[in-house]
Structure 1
Amino acid sequence: MADRDRERDRQQLQLHPQQQQYRYEGGLKNILPQKGPSASQIVAIVTLLPVSGTLLALAGITLAGSLIGLAFATPVFLIFSPVLVPAAILIAGAVTAFLTSGAFGLTGLSSLSWVLNSFRQATGRDPQDYAKRRVQEATAQVGEKTRQVGETIKAKGQEGVGREGRESGAAVGAPAGRPA
């Protein structure tokens, strides 16, 4: 039985020959890299240590100042809360209404754009071309009507001048007050 276990262990060792066992031989040389840090790494560390220390100190000072300010402001908030709470609610409501209005406007514009694109794809026509054509037709009708009214006014004017000339005995086109 012991022979079988030895044989099995030997087969397992032969099956995995690439596995190597590393031993810790101790000493500081094996932990540290073989060569030291480069000059640029040393300069970077020497430069970053004071900068990071200064920033950390400023963060601590800011935190302490915030806590002291909160300690002094808390009684003021409690005294003025009957005014501050409704004011905060009013401001929050106004901001919410403004943002909601903008969201509804954007939704409306995007919906209108979607409908126009759907119409274009379904009919193969552009609704703007239809509107332009209708405006051109209306402009042409207005121009025609204006020309007709102008001709009517001109005809009535000539008719009125002709009637006055016959009534007064003067020739058409002659200055008023002089006989022809």
Structure 2
Amino acid sequence: MAERDRDLSHPHQLQVHSQHRYDHYGAGVKSLLPRRGPSTSQVLAVVTLLPVGGTLLALAGLTLAGSIIGLVVTTPLFIIFSPVIVPAAIAIGLAVAGFFTSGAFGLMGLTSFSWILNSLRQCIGSVPEMADQAKLRMADMAEYVGQRTKEVGQEIQSKAHEAGKTGTGRT
């Protein structure tokens, strides 16, 4: 509390932060947009896993609904026919198996969607890095070609100058 009061008592000691601190947020939004399209393998992965994930989620929903309906239908039968334990155990076992199957299908569907999302995030993240590397390589190559061209031009100029002095030029 004392430090805060001390800071307010000296207004000339304010700290000014540059806009640079906030620049990386704007760059983050731009990096979310891909600069080139996804690769063929990524398109194939999405095309195959999207229907698989949707189908597994649909199967999870159907088995969950079927298990609940079966449990609702068989509960009164358990009460009426309580002396018959073997069929009740079978029905309970089937209901538990239905719940586990529903959970497994749902988990597999969500896992496939998660894999697709991570694959797309990885693709988007690697594009700017590859572009920066390509720019650096192009700049290095342009510098090398410029230097080499300058050297060849100087060699030609020096040979022409020597040929002009000695008079051994061919005509």
Q: What is the TM-score normalised by the length of structure 2?
A: 0.35
> Which structure: larger Rg?
1
- Structure number with the bigger relative contact order (C-alpha 8 A, sep ≥ 6) is 2
TM-score (norm 1): 0.34
